[in-house]
Amino acid sequence: MQHKWLKTTEVEVASNKLSFYIETIEVNQLSPLAFFAAGEKKYKGERFFWQNREKTLTIVGLGQAIAFENRLGHQRFDEIEYQWKELTKNIVMEEQEPQPILFGGFTFDPENKESGEWDGFPQSYFTVATFQLIKQHEKTYVSIHLITDQQDSSNLFDELREERDRLIHAAQVKELKTYDKPEILSVHERNKEDYFQAVESVTNLIRNQEADKVVIARSLELEFKDSVSSPQAIYQIMNEQPESFLFGLERKNLLFFGATPERLVKVENQYAYSACVAGSIRRGTTAKEDKWLGEQLLSDSKNLIEHQYVVDMIESTFKKLCAQYKVPKRPKLLKIRDIQHLYTPVEGKLYQDASILQLVKHLHPTPALGGAPRSKALQMIREFEKMNRGLYAGPIGWMDADGNGEFVVAIRSAALIDNKAYLYAGGGIVADSNPMTEYEETLVKFRPMLRALGGQFNE
């Protein structure tokens, strides 16, 4: 039997009385990416895509029932949490009923003023989709969300039902579509000399004990023969990196997307799970070499120190927000297609009043993306990195009305604007870092995204 749920809830957002109408139906299996692509004409600029690493949850959003944007600096996390709680406080869901999802991200550093591809982008950007697809435990659900101050919206809701059926039909008949790799005209390493200079300056400052660790990043600019569509970009990265978290978030003419190995935090029934991912080495060309490289990484003091800053900081956050928590004594290896990392999973039972966005607020940026001590590292990044990271290295993810959700660290990512893409990668600098080794590490980190978009380095 096909499930159907229908409900209306009265809500209040910023002193406006609104009604929140939700209708969810179960649909036959359809490709979430085909559903995303079905929104190409009408909802371009207002879509999102999410798939967890285990591939047990996929979420797609088309259109905006409501959007929360702000430029409130450190207050931005609390504001999003407040708005989401206001919007959902009267919603009572049945146990099996798919919930409305708030999806979005926070930029890396609200104080960065560098101009570029992120001009005009807010510091927090979250939406509830008009049409939401959730695929979980082999079942697929499509929900309509309408949030309105109109008294009688039955006609409007009927139109949304027709539109939902059109989208589902389009996704089902286009199910088998594949996309070609885009044709690249040029790959430009932006501010390459500045990057080497930044690594050198920061290493010297660390040697002078002005900081312990600072993550310095850089970017590539790719130009394509034709505009690249969002489904095309997501399709390619999905094929390249099946073992990572996949995300795509559109706003106006920008798609920010990527495949990251790094969870910032997941919350499920008051349990929190985070991961320390820092310290890297390439994959070997043979199994034997790969094993040897992994062993080198596990015993390399520079990488172990870099990793330990992250463990200490995540542990201290869990100590504040959790009644109990567990941190393994030693890192293990996290192997993905192009790179292996040192990896320490952390988990804990949250205090009753702690929430996923409080965790995000305290954890971001961990020393895997910022450095240690945090404020000194951020100051140095602002001074030496000649770019604006935008959403790169920031938290991106989703949450539901019960406070469950998952945020990842948006690395191995790119911003796509028409026929240009900006790719980002960085690495942790400590006292004995070497600029050339760091540069080469960024080449390895760029590789999956570059390959997905049809390019390569002549290394």
Ligand X SMILES: C=C(O[C@H]1C=CC=C(C(=O)O)[C@@H]1O)C(=O)O
Where does this chain bind ligand X (CB under 6 A)? 215, 217, 262, 277-280, 341, 368-369, 411-412, 425-428, 445
The string of DSSP letters for 285-299 reads SSHHHHHHHHHHHHH
Nearest distance, CB of residue 31 and ligand X, angstroms: 29
Smaller CB separation from ligand X, 135 or 447: 447
Element (H, E) at 417: strand 413-417
Bridge partners (DSSP) listed for residue 105: 125, 396
**How many angstroms separate the CA atoms of 65 and 150, rounded?**
14
Smaller CB separation from ligand X, 231 or 365: 365
Round the CA-based radius of gyration of the chain to a whole number and report it: 22
Smaller CB separation from ligand X, 167 or 369: 369
**How many angstroms separate the CA atoms of 159 and 95, rounded?**
28
Nearest distance, CB of residue 44 and ligand X, angstroms: 27
Question: Active-site residue numbers?
Answer: 213, 262
At residue 148, the 3 state secondary structure works out as: strand
Q: Give the pair of three-digit tokens for residue 284.
A: 């070997």
Nearest distance, CB of residue 367 and ligand X, angstroms: 8
Smaller CB separation from ligand X, 59 or 187: 187
Smaller CB separation from ligand X, 215 or 421: 215
Handedness of CA 442, 448, 452, 455 (dihedral sign): positive
Nearest distance, CB of residue 235 and ligand X, angstroms: 22
Q: Which residue has the tokens 């049809």?
A: 454
Smaller CB separation from ligand X, 29 or 437: 437
Give the other-Cβ count within 10 Å of 190's Cβ: 15
> In sequence order, which residues have a C-beta less than 8 Å from that of residue 434 and are 6 or more positions away?
none
Smaller CB separation from ligand X, 341 or 362: 341
Smaller CB separation from ligand X, 61 or 371: 371
**How many angstroms separate the CA atoms of 369 and 125, rounded?**
20
Bridge partners (DSSP) listed for residue 57: 136
Nearest distance, CB of residue 91 and ligand X, angstroms: 36
Nearest distance, CB of residue 307 and ligand X, angstroms: 8
Q: Give the pair of three-digit tokens for residue 264.
A: 């910032």
Nearest distance, CB of residue 333 and ligand X, angstroms: 12
What burial letters (b/e) apply to 175-189, b meaning 16+ CB within 10 Å?
Answer: eeeebebbebeebeb
Q: Give the pair of three-digit tokens for residue 268.
A: 């499920």
Give the DSSP letter of residue 418: T
**How many angstroms separate the CA atoms of 98 and 94, rounded?**
8
The answer to whether the CB of 40 falls within 8 A of the CB of 92 is no
Residue whose C-alpha is closest to residue 434's, from 194, 215, 196, 214: 196
The answer to whether the CB of 359 falls within 8 A of the CB of 323 is no
Bridge partners (DSSP) listed for residue 158: none
Nearest distance, CB of residue 447 and ligand X, angstroms: 11
